[in-house]
């Protein structure tokens, strides 16, 4: 076990004062601490490649190493600027990566994490990134050595942290935000009641897919078929578009604000190429709720102007429970590509199961 305060003190001692990254459940307490820092010291990036690039820009201006935190799933987003810009053989720009190691060989984890967990160390080796594994306080000495090496040689270095290692002694109590908005489950339940037999739903990573699966089975709602994007965060809209172009069926992408922002350029592809059968629902809680509730800053975006200017034909918005039924009806009837923004409160279902038998889920979806 490592205490959050020891990790933070260590970073301070090493004169690291700029943080950027994408939230992760293993690093939840770390990310939540950082969100209390002033804007100039910490930026939640939309994807891990952007976080690496922010760190590169910071180094170019301050000659100091930035700390970039990410889940190992996001290493793939990070690889492009890591290998093509920051690498020793390109511009030799040092960074400190703190990586939440989902699916590490010693821990049980979900199917989507197991493979990435297995290859994480090899990926770092291929990228010539020296790394250490932080399991106990003493390991912070290894981190210090790596940071010194990074500063001296201008190489990127990384620290891997497995599940349940990082502990915060004085847990930050997240005050319940009183918002009189619908919950994710209110929207999902009504949607499942209204869709036709042939509808396909493709749902994003985290609570959205888990709630969809649970609400469907709990209420025995069998119209339509679902494909849960248990990984590949940010890509559910393009998977949906790919499906919809080759099908006459109604296709609904159930997206989250963190996921949508991660690869927001996709909205233009949908606006341009999307057919009438394409329907996009954004469950906007302004938060990465599934990994700790860090803000996405999506609350002030005007999705009406945005999606219309990108080529979507219709825009709808829900912020009251009593409007859900009526607006879903209109949304399902209209000709797409259409966008529905649902402002939701944070809050999920207790003891949510996770999609397990993924091949079976795929086969059912395709049948």
Ligand X SMILES: Cc1ncc(C[n+]2csc(CCOP(=O)(O)OP(=O)(O)O)c2C)c(N)n1
Which residues make up the interface to ligand X (CB under 6 A)? 22-24, 71, 73-74, 77, 204-208, 233, 256-259, 285, 287-291, 296
By beta-carbon proximity to ligand X, the closer residue of 103 and 206 is 206
By beta-carbon proximity to ligand X, the closer residue of 256 and 337 is 256
Q: Compute CA distances 295 → 70, 78, 165, 256, 303, whole Å.
A: 15, 21, 24, 12, 17
> Three-state SS string across the chain, please?
CEEHHHHHHHHHHCCCCCEEECCCCCCHHHHHHHCCCCCCCEEECCCHHHHHHHHHHHHHHHCCCEEEEEEHHHHHHHHHHHHHHHCCCCCCCCEEEEEECCCCCCCCCCHHHHHHHHHHHHHHHHCCCEEEEECCHHHHHHHHHHHHHHHHHCCCEEEEECCCCEECCCCCCCCCCCCCCCCHHHHHHHHHHHCCCCCEEEECCCHHHHHHHHHHHHCCCCCCEEEECCCCCCCHHHHHHHHHHCCCCCEEEEEEHHHHHHCCCHHHHHHHHCCCCEEEEEEECCEEHHHCCEECCCCCCCHHHHHHHCCCCEEEEECCHHHHHHHHHHHHHCCCCEEEEEECCCCCCCCCCCCCCHHHHHHHHHC
Q: Let me know: does 229 contact 202? Beta carbons within 8 Å.
A: yes
By beta-carbon proximity to ligand X, the closer residue of 293 and 336 is 293
Q: How far is the CB of 181 from ligand X (least distance, A)?
A: 13
By beta-carbon proximity to ligand X, the closer residue of 25 and 144 is 25
Q: How far is the CB of 348 from ligand X (least distance, A)?
A: 8
CA–CA distance, 283 with 245 (Å, rounded to integer): 23
By beta-carbon proximity to ligand X, the closer residue of 64 and 111 is 111
Nearest CA among 258, 263, 257 for reference residue 241 = 263
By beta-carbon proximity to ligand X, the closer residue of 6 and 346 is 346
By beta-carbon proximity to ligand X, the closer residue of 77 and 150 is 77
Q: How far is the CB of 254 from ligand X (least distance, A)?
A: 10
Comparing every residue's Cβ against ligand X, the nearest one is 256
Nearest CA among 77, 36, 35 for reference residue 259 = 77
By beta-carbon proximity to ligand X, the closer residue of 10 and 77 is 77
By beta-carbon proximity to ligand X, the closer residue of 78 and 147 is 78
Q: How far is the CB of 349 from ligand X (least distance, A)?
A: 12
Q: How far is the CB of 152 from ligand X (least distance, A)?
A: 30
Q: How far is the CB of 19 from ligand X (least distance, A)?
A: 16
Q: How far is the CB of 198 from ligand X (least distance, A)?
A: 26
Q: How far is the CB of 46 from ligand X (least distance, A)?
A: 10
Q: How far is the CB of 231 from ligand X (least distance, A)?
A: 6
């Amino acid at each position: 076990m490592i205490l959050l305060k020891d990790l933070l003190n260590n970073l301070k001692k090493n004169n690291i004062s700029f943080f950027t990254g994408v939230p992760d459940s293993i690093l939840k307490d770390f990310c939540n601490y950082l969100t209390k820092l002033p804007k100039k010291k910490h930026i939640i990036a939309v994807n891990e490649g952007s976080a690496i690039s922010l760190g590169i820009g910071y180094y170019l201006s301050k000659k100091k190493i930035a700390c970039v935190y990410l889940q190992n799933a996001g290493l793939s987003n990070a690889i492009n600027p890591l290998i093509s810009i920051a690498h020793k053989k390109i511009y030799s720009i040092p960074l400190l990566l703190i990586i939440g190691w989902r699916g590490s060989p010693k821990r049980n984890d979900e199917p989507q994490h197991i493979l990435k967990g297995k290859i994480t160390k090899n990926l770092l080796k291929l990228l010539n990134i020296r790394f250490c594994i932080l399991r106990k306080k003493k390991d912070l000495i290894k981190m210090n050595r790596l940071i010194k090496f990074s500063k001296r040689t201008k190489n990127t270095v990384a620290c891997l942290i497995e599940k349940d290692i990082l502990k915060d002694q004085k847990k930050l109590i997240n005050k319940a935000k009183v918002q009189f908005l619908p919950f994710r489950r209110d929207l999902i339940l009504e949607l499942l009641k209204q869709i036709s037999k042939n509808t396909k739903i493709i749902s994003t990573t985290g609570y959205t897919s888990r709630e969809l699966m649970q609400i469907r089975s709990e209420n025995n709602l069998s119209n339509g078929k679902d494909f849960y994007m248990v990984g590949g965060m940010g890509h559910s809209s393009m998977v949906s578009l790919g499906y919809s172009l080759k099908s006459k069926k109604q296709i609904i992408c159930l997206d989250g604000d963190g996921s949508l922002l991660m690869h927001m350029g996709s909205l233009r592809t949908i606006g341009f190429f999307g057919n009438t059968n394409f329907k996009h629902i954004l469950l906007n809680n302004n938060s990465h709720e599934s990994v700790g509730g860090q803000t996405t800053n999506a609350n002030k975006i005007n999705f009406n102007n945005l999606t219309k200017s990108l080529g979507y034909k219709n825009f709808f918005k829900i912020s009251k429970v009593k409007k859900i039924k009526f607006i879903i009806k209109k949304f399902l009837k209209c000709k797409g590509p259409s966008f529905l923004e649902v402002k939701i409160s944070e809050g999920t279902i207790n003891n949510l199961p996770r999609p397990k038998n993924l091949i079976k889920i795929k086969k059912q979806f395709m049948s």
